[in-house]
A and B are shown apart, each in its own frame.
Chain A
Amino acid sequence: MSRDLSTGGAINEAIAIAMRSDPDVILMGEDVAGGGDRSKDGTEEMGGVLGTTRGLIGEFGMNRVRDTPIAEMGLLGTAVGAAATGLRPIAELMFMDFLGTGLDPLLNQASKLRYMFGGKVKVPLTVRTVSGAGMQAAAQHSQSLYWMTTGIPGLKTVIPSSPADAKGLLLASIRDDDPVIFCEAKGILNQVGPVPEDDYEIPLGVANVVREGSDVSLVGFGATVGIAMKAAKALEGAGTSAEVLDLRSLSPLDESAILTSLEKAGRMVVIDESTPRCSIARDVAALCVDRGFDFLNAPVKCVTAPHTPVPFSRALEKAFMPSAQDVLDAVAEMG
């Protein structure tokens, strides 16, 4: 049975299911309870700045749902230590931009403990974080920094594109024995769609063909899958059959699905919300050149944000963000 939920609602449900099914799962972060369960006077709790975790404190209590100080390094480092000693924490990094104040526990601890210790420890940590532009949150609350975590061996990076995928990928991430950075793109947080009620997992490292097509492959992830779908519909009207491939996870990366789609269509556009340098888009393009050169009928095109900070003004932010029109232009350029 499915019913319509927002992505935020699907994430909330996934956390609740994970916490019900495993007493070692805890939730911690800034405002994740948000005033809840202190006075028991009926005051409504916030459940995070976007309300994603609202209500969980009521069901699971203060031992397992913990408001932390606004101290990203401390909260992430503590979550790593908890993961290495027997818990399965879900830590919330309110915005991905805050990697700046919280990076060491991910860069030098979570990602490396298992390797440094010769495989004798596991770090089953999930860091949920909100990425991307689109809320006029400006330069320090809008970055898509998944390229950074994807580039760190030992971490996994996951980014869903729909409410149903968010639930299944988050459950898989929480139950995964490695540290996972789970990106919740602003562009899909309020998107509403059918979400199955049951407990299900979507495997990490397996891309999803959202739409079959044969003339061009549009590769997206997170919010850019929606952009790709919009472009695909427009292309259909012009007689071009576009395939849409959702990567779902950036590390592990489903390289064979990318190459299969390229082989089928011969042309590819990769759409990435982040800035272009060292981006996932260019990583995928490099893969196509390196291992799919014989399939290429045209250069791989990357549609990304420009190499700038994220601007505030709605007019500027719109110009910054990749759009379906940018995808259509890229396809047109390929001839």
Chain B
Amino acid sequence: MELSRDTLLETYRRMRTIRAFEEKLHELVVAGKIGGFMHLYAGQEAVAVGVCSNLGDEDLVGSTHRGHGHCIAKGVDVKAMIAELFGRSTGTNKGKGGSMHIADVDRGMLGANGIVGGGIPLVTGAALTAQVKDSGRVAVGFFGDGATNQGQFHESLTMAANWKLPAVYVCENNGFGEFTPTEFVVPVKDIVERAASYGMRAEIADGMDFFDVYEKAGRAIELARQGEGPTLLECKTYRFHGHYVGDATPYRNKEEAEDWIQNRDPLDLFERKVTESGVVAGGDLREVDGEVDALLRSAVEEAESAPNPEPSDVLTDVYVEYPS
């Protein structure tokens, strides 16, 4: 195991924070304490953390409607995220974005995106900025299998490949586009097959295995940084919840879902690997669990008592300058 004990513990903390964050949100939505459309990332933690562990603060990520995990993996403040989901003025977006637009550009997080595929050209643009300015930054776009049917995906990857932009395109193939199995609507077996039409490098990773994602994303990010152009990285994964909170998932095979959740949970797989290697003890991880749970408890408490935006705030932040 090449990663240090501290790095492994930090990795676990990020994955565990995402899981606890999403389970807490589920609870809060069901209890009617927070509103809006809520798409949970639980089950896919190894992808966000595996990719973002290779990025620096100055690197950029673009995300999807299922974006909380990418935020946490990129280092966005969890308390400000919870406040945002409560619609408070102390939120990451001052209560103007909510779950589908949660963002923190100061942390290089260019936003969740309510339009399927909408984040892909934004990331391509971020990579263009990096190339024009020769800044050495890399831009990573996360998107689902469903987004690879969108024109924005094809147009962006065509441009990125033409210009050899410093971008990595991470497809989180969780088997379903909303409620429709991927194989019903995607005419290729693996999403990576699409990369051939852009002359782009492509690789498949086990999206439940942090170490596999970490290694393959690391390679792609390094190549992008060296000016070797973009890569399409397909991570095979599974979402433990439905498309959104409230989706009872009647469309999915119960045994299959149970198998993924019971036997392929990315946190369990990570724990088994690191404890078997002897670098980290189970007790260390339980300590992290306690800290994460405490953080979320206080995040919710603080958010509940935080101020709402003023009604007059509806009019601000539309333009930088707009003569009345």
Query: Which residues of A are at the interface with B, using a C-beta cutoff of 8 A?
Result: 24, 26, 63-64, 66, 68-69, 71, 73-87, 89, 101, 104-105, 108-109, 112-122, 153-154, 156, 176-178, 203-206, 252, 254
Contact = CB atoms under 8 A, between A and B. Distances in A.
Contacts of B218: none
Contacts, number: 167
A77 B122 contact: yes
B152 A73 contact: yes
A82 B125 contact: yes
A115 B319 CA distance: 8
B62 interface: yes
A178 B95 CA distance: 21
B94 A84 contact: no
Given A86-B129, A87-B128, A108-B115, A80 B122 contact: yes
A26 B132 contact: yes
B319 A156 contact: yes
B320 A122 contact: yes
A115 B96 contact: yes
A153 B93 contact: no
B132 A63 contact: yes
Nearest to A155: B319
Contacts of A79: 125
A117 B152 contact: no
A195 B95 CA distance: 47
A118 B121 contact: no
Contacts of B132: 26, 63-64, 82, 87
Interface of B: 60, 62, 91-97, 101, 103-106, 110-111, 113-115, 118, 120-133, 139, 151-152, 154-156, 158-159, 162-163, 316-324
A81 B128 contact: yes
A122 B317 CA distance: 10
Contacts of A108: 114-115, 118
Contacts of A122: 320
B125 A77 contact: yes
Nearest to A204: B323
B156 A78 contact: yes
Nearest to A63: B132
A305 B60 CA distance: 46
B111 A113 contact: yes
Contacts of A24: 133
Contacts of A87: 125, 128-129, 132-133
Which of A66, A85, A105, A121 lies at the interface centre, i.e. has the most chain B CB atoms within 10 A of its CB? A85
B116 to A, nearest CB: 10
A114 B320 contact: yes
Contacts of B317: 114-115, 117-119
Contacts of A120: 93, 103-106
A118 B92 contact: yes
A78 B96 contact: no
B155 A84 contact: no
A154 B125 CA distance: 19
Given A26-B132, A86-B129, A120-B105, A78 B320 contact: no
Contacts of B323: 203-206, 252, 254
Contact of B128 (A78, A252, A254): A78
Which of A68, A115, A177 lies at the interface centre, i.e. has the most chain B CB atoms within 10 A of its CB? A115
A81 B319 contact: no
